[in-house]
């Protein structure tokens, strides 16, 4: 491919309506319409409300992404969209819009696994072509991937782009869910994770501690439903002992965050010991918005001499830029659909796995 392809990418897997335009790995525009404030009053994402908001927002976000990229739909060469995993009725909105667009303008269509987008998000470049990995992407493999989002906590072995083996995953709640559920116990509102990690900065390490889940298991799986129960009992005890939450909440958040980080580091270290040939560590997902989690995981990578590949902050949560980078590599590998019947054969897959 002599010239990098111009791609428009869509993501409506949860509560953000996202559209991005990329030239190869370079992000020309990335527009996200967030619904956080709408869902906050319900304490979490309500799929039907999210669907209605997606339907209302997607034409506007699409136009804005094209305008910011200074291109027209006629200029675009490929249309890409997340088809899973995610909330079924929300995935459907973006998928239908993107499929209709590809067919109407006779553009090849690229269906993208949302989790592959998170995995490859650290390979995105800005519009000037600057980023963490500017060249020699192939030299990073084989690699490990650690994906931590609202519904997913996964360890992936990456032989090369497009060839993955899942080494471990959560057996119940994901890290993001644990943060939000514990945040709710602490009356932080939705989403609770960002407040919890912020409060942890003011807490004293070791004053309140939590047992690290799956610490002694020989596999690479995670589990966080037990820590949620432990947190519930601990908040009840503390509220009986103290008059005000402010007397213990910072130390509580410090202890909870330390436990989460330690649980991730233990499994990551085990994976590194098991696969000594690994050269790089790719991370992605909204939980990496916590700079402390990002830094602590990075220390493990650097201690082992790995290249640490992580996305810029705007591409850590759900976004269409990451869908575009996954689509770019799919295009290079000729994994595109060109006829209307093949394009329409792609259906939403809420439980899609890497």
Q: Binding-site residues, please?
A: 114, 118, 147-151, 180, 193, 318
Q: Distance (Å, rounded) from C-alpha 141 to C-alpha 336?
A: 24
Sole residue written with tokens 């094209």: 66
CA torsion sign for 140, 144, 149, 152 is positive
Separation in Å, CA 59 to CA 62, 101, 104, 112: 5, 11, 15, 20
Binding residue positions for Fe cation: 114, 118, 318
Number of Cβ within 10 Å of residue 260's Cβ equals 31
CA angle 65, 69, 72 (to 5 degrees): 80
Instruction: Give the C-alpha separation, 322 to 315, whole Å.
Output: 7
> Based on C-alpha coordinates, what's the Rg of the chain?
21
Q: Is 321 helix (H, G, I), strand (E, B) or coil?
A: helix
Q: Sign of dihedral through CA atoms 93, 99, 104, 107?
A: positive
Q: Which of 6, 4, 82, 15 is nearest to 48 (CA)?
A: 15
Check: CB of residue 349 under 8 Å from CB of residue 111. no
What residues form the annotated binding site for substrate? 147-151, 180, 193
Q: Which residues contact 104 (CB under 8 A, 6 or more apart)?
A: none
Query: Which run of H or E residues covers position 175?
Result: helix 175-185
For 39, 189, 294, 305, the CA distances from 279, given in Å and listed in that order, are 40, 40, 18, 8
Q: Is the separation of the CB atoms in 15 and 36 below 8 Å?
A: yes
Separation of alpha carbons 129 and 106, rounded Å: 28
């Amino acid at each position: 491919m002599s010239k990098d392809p111009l791609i428009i990418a869509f993501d409506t897997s949860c509560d953000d309506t996202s559209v991005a335009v990329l030239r190869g790995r370079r992000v020309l525009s990335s527009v996200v319409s967030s619904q956080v404030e709408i869902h906050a009053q319900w304490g979490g994402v309500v799929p039907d409300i999210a669907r209605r908001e997606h339907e209302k927002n997607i034409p506007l976000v699409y136009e804005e992404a094209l305008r910011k990229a200074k291109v027209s739909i006629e200029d675009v060469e490929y249309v890409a969209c997340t088809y899973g995993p995610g909330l079924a009725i929300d995935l459907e909105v973006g998928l239908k819009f993107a499929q209709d667009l590809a067919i109407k303008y006779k553009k090849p269509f690229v269906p993208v696994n949302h989790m592959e987008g998170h995995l490859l998000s650290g390979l995105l470049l800005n519009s000037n072509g600057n980023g963490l990995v500017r060249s020699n992407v192939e030299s990073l493999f084989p690699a490990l991937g650690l994906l931590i989002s609202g519904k997913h906590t996964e360890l992936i072995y990456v032989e090369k782009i497009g060839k993955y083996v899942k080494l471990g995953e959560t057996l119940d709640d994901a890290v993001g869910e644990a943060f939000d559920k514990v945040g709710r116990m602490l009356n932080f509102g939705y989403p609770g994770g960002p407040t919890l990690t912020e409060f942890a900065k003011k807490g004293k390490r070791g004053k309140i501690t939590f047992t690290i889940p799956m610490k002694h298991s020989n596999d690479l799986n995670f589990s966080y439903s037990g820590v949620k129960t432990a947190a519930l009992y601990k908040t009840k005890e503390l509220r009986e002992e103290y008059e005000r939450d402010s007397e213990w909440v910072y130390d509580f958040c410090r202890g909870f965050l330390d436990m989460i980080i330690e649980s991730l580091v233990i499994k990551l270290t085990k994976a590194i010991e098991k696969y000594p040939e690994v050269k790089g560590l790719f991370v992605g997902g909204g939980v990496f918005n916590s700079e402390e989690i990002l830094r602590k995981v990075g220390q493990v990578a650097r201690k082992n001499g790995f290249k640490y590949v992580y996305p810029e902050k705007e591409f850590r949560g759900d976004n269409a830029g990451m869908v575009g980078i996954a689509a770019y590599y799919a295009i290079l590998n000729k994994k595109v659909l060109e006829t209307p019947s093949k394009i329409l054969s792609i259906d939403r897959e809420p439980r899609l796995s890497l």
